[in-house]
Amino acid sequence: MKKFAMFAMLFVLAGMLLPAQAQTVTTLYDFATNSSVSQEPAGVVAQGRDGNFYGITQVPNRGTIYKVTPSGTFTLLHIMASDLSEGANCNGLILGSDGNFYGTCLYGGNGAGNGLGTIIKVTPAGVLTVIYKFTGQNAGGSTDGCYPFGVPVQASDGNFYGTAEQCGTSGGYGVVYKLTMAGVYTVIYNFSGGGQPFGALIQGSDGNLWGTTTVNPTVFKVSTAGVFSTVYSFGCCGTPAQAGLVQGPDGNYYGTTEAIGANTQGEVFKVTPAGVLTVLHSFNNTTDHGAFPVLPLTLGTDGNFYGVATDCGGGGCSALGANIFEITSKGLFTDLYNFPNIGSNNNSVPESPLFLSTNGTFYSTTQLGGTVGDGTFYSLTNAQSAFIALQQSSGKVGSKIGILGQGFGATSVVKFNGVTATTVVRTGTTFLTATVPAGATDGFVTVTTGATTLTSRGKFLVHNTWASGKVMPTGTAFSSAAVLGGEIYVIGGAKASGTVINNVQIYNPTTNTWSTGTSLPTVTQHSSAAVVSNILYVFGGDNGVAAPTNAVLAYSPKTKAWTSMAPMPTARNGTLAVVEKNIIYVMGGNLGNGSNFVATVESYNPATNTWTTEAPMDGAKDYPAGGLIGTTIVAADGAVASGQITGDTEGYNAATNAWSELTADPTARTGSCSGVIGSALYDASGYINNNGAATTVNDSYSLSANKWTTTLLSIPQGTMYAAPAVDNGQLYCLGGWATISGTTINNVQIYQP
């Protein structure tokens, strides 16, 4: 097993790095100054609330915790216990929302030279607490995993998530874990038949945790509830992504491989949320100076990515040294800085990824180098913009949000998407807390001090709020919708005139724009839709004249063409389609004439293009709400007969092919806008049988509590038979009717839970 926590770089003898074009690289601190107590810095560097940087060294003894100011003033904070009880070979630190630092240590935890790793908390003053000790063994041992390589990430729910590279219950391939602020540890996923994740996880804009594995190498995502999906399989030889991923402004994920395939020296790749991978750059240590990248990329404020290529593959390093590079999302590669080579050494590689501070400067370390080879702390400046960093990426109105930056003063004004926060508490010039004001919506946060305005790099999500997207080109009702490749496909439907159409309208949530897709072969309304393996499937529906169809159409974004698939056994419209383990369950609906409502459930296997009849629902449901919560398909509401609507809620277990009754929706409705986000079903608006306007009620259902919550913020405009979709943790309600048999609307209403 490679121990990448031991990477290093022989820097320059004099301690000052050589300049490169348009770059300024400076050694801020030489660990030779305190070599007797702190040597060989390694791992991730964190920025504290005080604007200083906190990190970890590997030696002497078991390592140390240190602080360095932006100007290079060093403070030793903590010396790790010599008996390994606190851990050893630690992987760096991250800043938690409480102002403390959290990290992992690859070894140690049990003292007396034993232990399989720890998770630690360190205060800014250097007080260290071990909050978890790993005890896992290989197959047949304990279940908590062992050897945590990557630092944890604090997700939007406030909990920490990470990976342990080995042990667990499925052959010793490692685990994904959750750790609460109170120290409660839970394994949420065991890798099986492959795994051994090295790099840290990140939380994507879709709310999932994204990472990479090294055995049967993959890019994967896993929900905070432990629902796992392989996004891309490298499926070949060599050494894949050792590091984690970074998400770009375009919503795609970017990473590096140390070496994939024969005669390669590493790559930079891009992978879409749908799993389409593109190699952006293949390294050549002759022309690139460095190669074999094993550290994660860092996103600059200019939208480009920055990294360090170590030129160390197969356990050794060439004499050419390493480099800092820049690469665009299109693959334009620039060699920014070449580390001077001082002889050859099998540990002579940079060990820390670049960290972009809120002041617009990159900071990092070399494990060796400096005047006596004990390591350095250095900076890289290349015209990045200063910004503010939010300690929480989301919150409700009234919640307190920590903001890191610089230059704050008593007159600093904080705005959430343009709405001024009236309660701001400043702590020094580099940290403040602001209370989310009433009226705030999703958007960027700004801090203005005098003539200077600093902006957050990502949007802040205000929970329990509604926002608007760009209106639909053609307002429709009775359309189906599904998310394909990060875009929402709105399929068919009826226009305001009642005319049924075959249009495919495509909405891009990232750019808030519409485009036109390949039209359906025939006009269709009342269909349902789902996506499996990047293929969009449309089920049933009708053309407004004839009886419902059993047609199944499949759309490939590669060919941009529709193909007919095996028809449904039962021709229906008004169905609900839900995916569970790549099987699509099509349930409910009616057989025509608006009165033949059914409880029919049929499952479609895209891999074999075959249908299976499943156990029917306990009650008929036309236009039910629903989705997948964990491994349970939940179906709620819907019409049970002409003019009769139910709030009946049922759960389906595919493994047992059985339905069970759940707590009914207090607001019985049909044709609502619904979808599962996280562990809850959200159910907005719909028709409530009053022959008037659509209801504006917005509820949610928790399967674990078997309970509906009825206090959510109402939808701004009531709508029935809108096209519902869930993307990036938000519920989209597209079009629909505002009143029964009324005029269709073209609103795009977006709910952030």
Q: What is the pLDDT of residue 9?
A: 34
- Mean of the per-residue pLDDT values for the chain? 89
3-state class (DSSP) for residue 137? coil
Q: Which H or E run includes 677?
A: strand 673-677
More confident residue, 379 or 13: 379
Check residues 237 and 638 and name the one with the higher pLDDT.
638
For position 262, what pLDDT does the model report? 54
Left, alpha or beta for 451 (phi > 0: left; psi -120 to 50: alpha)?
alpha
Q: How far apart are CA 275 and CA 258, in angstroms?
A: 20
* Other C-beta atoms lying within 10 Å of the C-beta of residue 265: 22
Q: Residue 676's closest CA among 726, 745, 607? A: 726
Q: Classify burial at 411, counting beta carbons within 10 Å of its beta carbon; exposed 0-12, middle 13-18, buried 19 or more.
A: exposed
> 587 is written with which tokens?
């349930």
The pLDDT value given to residue 5: 33
pLDDT more than 90, % of the chain: 67
CB 307 within 8 A of CB 293: yes
Give the mean pLDDT of 66-72: 96
Per-residue 3-state assignment (H helix, E strand, C coil) for 63-86: CEEEEECCCCCEEEEEECCCCCCC
Average pLDDT of 74-88? Answer: 92
pLDDT classification of 729: cutoffs 50, 70, 90: confident
Average pLDDT value for residue range 262-276: 85
Mean pLDDT of 3-30: 51
Contact 239, 257 (CB under 8 A): yes
Q: What is the pLDDT of residue 310?
A: 76
> What are the two backbone dihedrals, phi and then psi, of residue 5, each rounded to the nearest 5 degrees?
-70, -5
Q: In this predicted structure, what is the pLDDT of residue 730?
A: 92
Confidence of residue 111 (pLDDT cuts 50, 70, 90): low
Nearest in space to 293 (alpha carbons), one of 333, 266, 330, 317: 266
* 139, 191 Cβ separation under 8 angstroms: no
- Tens digits of residue pLDDT in 582-602: 999 999 999 987 678 999 999
Task: Name the more confident of 461 and 103.
Answer: 103
Classify each residue of 519-532 as buried b or exposed e, where b means 16 or more C-beta atoms within 10 Å of its C-beta: ebeebbbbbbbbbb
pTM value is 0.78
CATH superfamily of 389-462: Immunoglobulins (2.60.40.10)
Q: What is the CA radius of gyration of the chain?
A: 28
Nearest to 476 by CA among 671, 684, 721, 725: 721
The whole-number average pLDDT for the span 23-40 is 84
Q: How confident is the model at residue 3 (pLDDT cuts 50, 70, 90)?
A: very low
- Within this chain, domains 9-381 and 465-752 share the same CATH topology: no
pLDDT at 8: 33
| 585 closest CA partner among 574, 573, 575, 595 | 575
Give the residue-averaged pLDDT of 532-542.
Answer: 96
Question: What is the 8-class DSSP label of residue 347?
Answer: T
Does residue 4 carry a pLDDT above 60? Answer: no
Is the predicted pLDDT of residue 497 greater than 50, yes or no? yes
H helices, E strands: number in the chain: 0, 68
Return the sign of the alpha-carbon dihedral for residues 149, 151, 153, 154: positive
Are 45 and 365 spatial neighbours (Cβ–Cβ below 8 Å)?
Answer: yes
Residue 54 C-alpha from the chain's centroid: 25
**Most confident of the ranges 203-207, 326-330, 336-340, 374-378:** 326-330
| Residue given tokens 């810095």 in the structure block | 41
Helix, strand or coil, per DSSP, at residue 370: coil
Residue 578: pLDDT over 60: yes
Sorting pLDDT into bands at 50, 70 and 90, what band is 309?
Answer: confident
For the chain, what percent of residues have pLDDT higher than 70?
91
Provide the 3-class DSSP secondary structure of residue 642: coil
173 vs 497, residue with greater confidence: 173
**Side chain identity, residue 557:** P
129-169 tens-digit pLDDT: 999 999 875 444 558 889 999 999 999 889 999 999 988 88
- Distance from the Cα of residue 736 to its chain's centroid: 30
Give dist(CA 621, CA 645) in Å, integer. 9
Q: What mean pLDDT do residues 241-245 have? A: 81
Dist CA 582 CA 595 (whole Å): 32
Which residue is it, tokens 């946060």?
A: 445
One-letter amino acid identity for 333? F
Please count the other Cβ atoms lying within 10 Å of the Cβ belonging to residue 292. Answer: 25
- Give the tens place of pLDDT for each residue, 628-647: 999 999 999 999 987 789 99
The CATH code that applies to domain 9-381 is: 2.130.10.10
CB of 635 closer than 8 Å to CB of 576: yes
Tell me the mean pLDDT in the region 75-84. 92
Mean predicted confidence (pLDDT) in 220-230:
90
- Higher per-residue pLDDT: 373 or 721: 721
Residue 675 phi/psi, 5° resolution? Answer: 180, 155
- Average pLDDT, stretch 233-261? 81
Backbone conformation region of residue 153, classed left if phi is above 0, alpha if psi is from -120 to 50, else beta = beta
Phi, psi of 510, deg, nearest 5:
-70, -40
Give mean pLDDT, residues 387-402.
94
d(CA 502, CA 521): 7
Query: Looking at the chain, how many residues does it have?
Result: 753
Residue (of 506, 508, 512) closest to 529 by Cα position: 506
Asked whether the predicted pLDDT for residue 233 surpasses 60, the reply is: yes
Instruction: Please answer whether residues 699 and 683 qualify as being in contact, where contact means their C-beta atoms are separated by less than 8 angstroms.
Output: yes
Torsion of CA 356, 361, 367, 372, to 10 degrees: -170
Decide if 355 contacts 13 (C-beta within 8 A).
no
**Domain ranges, ordered by start, for the chain:** 9-381, 389-462, 465-752
Given a cut of 60, whether residue 347 has pLDDT beyond it is no
Q: Tell me, what amino acid is at 736?
A: G
Q: Which pLDDT band, with edges at 50, 70 and 90, does 531 fall under?
A: very high
Query: Between 3.30.1540.20, 3.40.50.80, 2.40.160.10, 2.120.10.80, what CATH number should domain 465-752 receive?
Result: 2.120.10.80
Tell me 258's DSSP state.
S
| Predicted confidence (pLDDT) per residue in 676-691, tens digit | 998 899 999 999 876 6
